[in-house]
Structure 1
Amino acid sequence: MHNQKMIKPHINQHIWLLLIGIVIILGVFLRIHVLENTVIDSPIRADAHDYFHYTKNMVEHQTYSRKAASSPTPDALREPGYPFFAYFFYDANAERFVAKVLTAQTIIQCLAFLLLTIVLYQTLGGIYTFFVSLLLWTFPHFITVNTYFLTESLFLSLITMILVFSALLSKVRTNKQNLYVYLVLGVLIGITTLVRPSFQYFALFYLVMLFVWERKANYQVILCVLVALLPSLLWGIRNMMALGEWSDSTLMINGLYHGSFPMFMYNNDPSTFGFPYRFDPLASEVYQGVSHTLGIIYNKAINSPAEYLQWYLAGKQMFLWQWDIIAGQGDVFIYPTLASPYYYEDGIAYFTHSVNKTIHVFWMLLSFAGLAVIFYRMWKQQLNTNPFIFMAASIFLYAILIHIIVAPFPRYGIPFKVCALIICVYTIKRAIEWTTKRSA
């Protein structure tokens, strides 16, 4: 009888591992299927156009420039992370070049998600990992971002790797090993900052959060933060040498200004939805500088304080975390998409899309509730959670706070949803454990 009791947990464990393996295979299949059968209308457009020419000019002219010219001049509009990634796959044939990059970022995402799934299994156990894996591997937004020559896919993979390495902090046994993990985390955070500039303040934010959590910050954490800041420092030095200025403030101005229109409309006019700045007569003035832009936003907010307060504290989060992409095609598509497996009603992709869309709002709301509980209990020192969950919660909270300031386009929230997923399932696990303990 005793042997039978010992065998049963192992059988259950193997069943969950088998189910998780099936989910992973499904996720890999969906990524290959969607990548091979998606057709984008003019894929090298808008932001993708800039990334394409940055890479092309680095290879052909040894100049970091987004200009399509025979003698391009250097600039610093966009961070160099994604163009440097694409650099390794450059091909003179544009179509072949783009295909190589899209394939590479899809493979990297699969590997990153595989490592994350292993970490989740070790942290949450079989049953919870199975359910979070279903969402992680089939979530349509995570899959479709691989089909664009844009930063979202690489940014998502880097955030995933930050989570994976943060999990090692609970497994190392010596201070030396702990230091090595923090150094790798610093490098990953630094590289991620060069892919998505809105992440540039996370290293300092993480330091503050650790101090709040542990009421102290050891030298290993401080070293991690310093390493994380180094890539941005080197990029700033490059800009000073090449351009005579530390950075190009255009994107910061865009982020502040584009995010200042309540409900993404100009004067509440539905016909301006998604692109309100195109209808604002003050649009030409904002590029006089960040301070001037803030002045314009301040004057608007003073005239309608209640509307702007509601927008900045609640409305922005509603848009950032919603399902439908705006300022793009809509649904899960950024650029106009002529063909996609998600269009075919009789396919597995369409089925997973429908299921995910139905439950999306529920797990997002649960993740917000879980985040609030986690940090409340940490603040009260009632919860000693592990570094992996802490990192996921910190990144999730950072995304919420930074997009109170800048434009909350739903596209920008996609990579951060991997953290929201983890917090959601962790919350369910803790709630069930608490309920079971109370009823025992």
Structure 2
Amino acid sequence: MFLVPFFRLDDLGGFIHRVVQAQAWIGTCVVLLIGLLAVRLLGQGWALAVAAATALSPHLIVYVPYLLSETLYSLAFLIFVAFLAVGLTTAVPWRRTAFLSLAGLALGLTCLVRPTLDQLVWILLTAALLLPQFRRQWPAIVIFLLGFLTVMAPWWARTSQIPGNGQSHAMAITLHQGSYPDLMRDGDPATFGYPYRGDPVSPAAESSVPAALRNIASKFHEHPWQMSRWYLIGKPIQLFAWNEQSGWMDLFEYPVLRSPWLKSPGLIVLTSIMKGVHPVIILLALAGTLLAFVPAAARGLPLPADAMVGLRVAAFVHAYFLLVHLAALPLSRYSVPFRPLTYLMAAYGLMCLGALVGRWRERSRPAEVPS
């Protein structure tokens, strides 16, 4: 649907050029939106750092010329998070209702681009039922759900009419494909990235979700430590890896004939810097995601209560993204659209670390003896 306005049969070269131009503008909007969201949640100084990291991210930039969904999905995803965070931090009832309805619509559109978040609405509704402060917000909750269903119901109706194209079958495939430790079959490097190809058990394991789960359970029974290490440690490492498992030259998903990222000294230095700090950013983001739900971690931070609610919304969505890919196929390409949110959570993690160091220094300072 996104590509249709740019397509002309008699001008395929112009078609690609127009799409790339549109995606460049979309990438600019991603930087602007994450900056505005970070201003609301973290303040101007930290927002500048988050926006700069997003603007300088080599992965987010090199995906712009590809006819792939990463760039569009990143914008749609951020629009949803922004509407949801603003809706849940707005005290005015009609504004909360308006923003949550927009969040529902945005979530539906995001799921049409990629289905990664299609179960999130039901998790949010369950959380709303369990949290007392949300039980009085049924009108807003219903409007959020209606916004989501307005977009998704026609798609579900269309999909239900296509034999063999059910969501459960796709889920079975991704569960099975993500069950190979280190993305290799029996430790064979030749199968790296595509261990399920040629595996005789794949057709049966991918036939249904119960079959996929039984196959995974049998692997845990046969190799408990290896599978536990893979799901708890190996998968997060692969998901946030700098190199794309099936990519080319660190950054690129597919080979390119030429690129300034391969020749420009400035861009090569930038890539080296971003690659060097990447593990630190990921660790800070994971810490920030966890600490957003620990009230004591925010002690001493100059953040109002509504900002903390918004940060917990961002952390919840970031945690959902991580947990989904712990169960599914953890290709690092899938983490690229979420990178702006990762930078946001890393900034919060760094804020908490700074506050912790400040409290430690305060406690370790010798007490002044009155003269």
Tell me the residue number matched to 1:103: 21
The structural deviation recorded for 1:392 is: 1.6
Residues 1:376 and 2:294 are matched in the alignment: yes
Cα 1:435–1:97 shift into 2, 3 Å: same
Residues 1:263 and 2:185 are matched in the alignment: no
Letter of the aligned partner of 1:186 in structure 2? Answer: G
Cα 1:425–1:174 shift into 2, 3 Å: same
Tell me the residue number matched to 1:427: 349
Asked if the contact 2:80/2:110 (under 8 Å) is kept, the reply is: no
Letter of the aligned partner of 1:130 in structure 2? Answer: L
Tell me the residue number matched to 1:295: 214
The structural deviation recorded for 1:330 is: 4.7
- Distance in 1 of aligned mates of 2:297 and 2:356: 19
Give the secondary structure class of the aligned counterpart of 2:243: coil
Alignment TM-score, normalising by the size of structure 1: 0.73
Cα 1:378–1:405 shift into 2, 3 Å: farther
The structural deviation recorded for 1:98 is: 2.5
Give the secondary structure class of the aligned counterpart of 2:21: helix
Asked if the contact 2:77/2:110 (under 8 Å) is kept, the reply is: yes
Tell me the residue number matched to 2:367: none
Asked if the contact 2:281/2:343 (under 8 Å) is kept, the reply is: yes
Asked if the contact 1:272/1:279 (under 8 Å) is kept, the reply is: no
- Distance in 2 of aligned mates of 1:206 and 1:287: 28
Tell me the residue number matched to 2:57: 139
Tell me the residue number matched to 1:339: 258
- Distance in 1 of aligned mates of 2:131 and 2:251: 36
Letter of the aligned partner of 2:69 in structure 1? Answer: T
1:218-259 deviation line (CA, Å, top 9, x unaligned): 22134313422443322121123x425772555323311210
Tell me the residue number matched to 1:91: 8
- Distance in 1 of aligned mates of 2:164 and 2:203: 22
Residues 1:158 and 2:67 are matched in the alignment: no
The structural deviation recorded for 1:379 is: 12
- Distance in 1 of aligned mates of 2:177 and 2:112: 22
- Distance in 2 of aligned mates of 1:100 and 1:175: 41
1:259-301 deviation line (CA, Å, top 9, x unaligned): 0100001101122211111242223433433333333332222
Tell me the residue number matched to 1:324: 243
Cα 1:216–1:121 shift into 2, 3 Å: closer
Letter of the aligned partner of 2:236 in structure 1? Answer: Q
Cα 1:259–1:130 shift into 2, 3 Å: same
Residues 208-357 of structure 1: pairs in structure 2 closer than 5 A: 208-209=126-127, 216-217=134-135, 218-219=137-138, 220-240=140-160, 242-243=161-162, 247=166, 249-346=168-265, 348-357=266-275
Cα 1:94–1:214 shift into 2, 3 Å: farther
Give the secondary structure class of the aligned counterpart of 1:88: helix
Match of 2:123 among 186, 202, 205: 205
Letter of the aligned partner of 1:399 in structure 2? Answer: F
Tell me the residue number matched to 2:368: none
Tell me the residue number matched to 1:408: 330
- Distance in 2 of aligned mates of 1:207 and 1:248: 20
- Distance in 1 of aligned mates of 2:127 and 2:15: 41
- Distance in 1 of aligned mates of 2:55 and 2:235: 27
Residues 1:395 and 2:317 are matched in the alignment: yes
- Distance in 2 of aligned mates of 1:431 and 1:214: 31
Give the secondary structure class of the aligned counterpart of 2:14: helix
Percent sequence identity is 25
Cα 1:248–1:201 shift into 2, 3 Å: closer
Alignment TM-score, normalising by the size of structure 2: 0.86
Asked if the contact 1:113/1:160 (under 8 Å) is kept, the reply is: no
- Distance in 1 of aligned mates of 2:310 and 2:12: 40
Give the secondary structure class of the aligned counterpart of 1:235: helix
The structural deviation recorded for 1:137 is: 0.7
- Distance in 2 of aligned mates of 1:340 and 1:250: 38
Name structure 1 gaps, 5 residues minimum. Answer: 1-83
- Distance in 1 of aligned mates of 2:297 and 2:150: 30
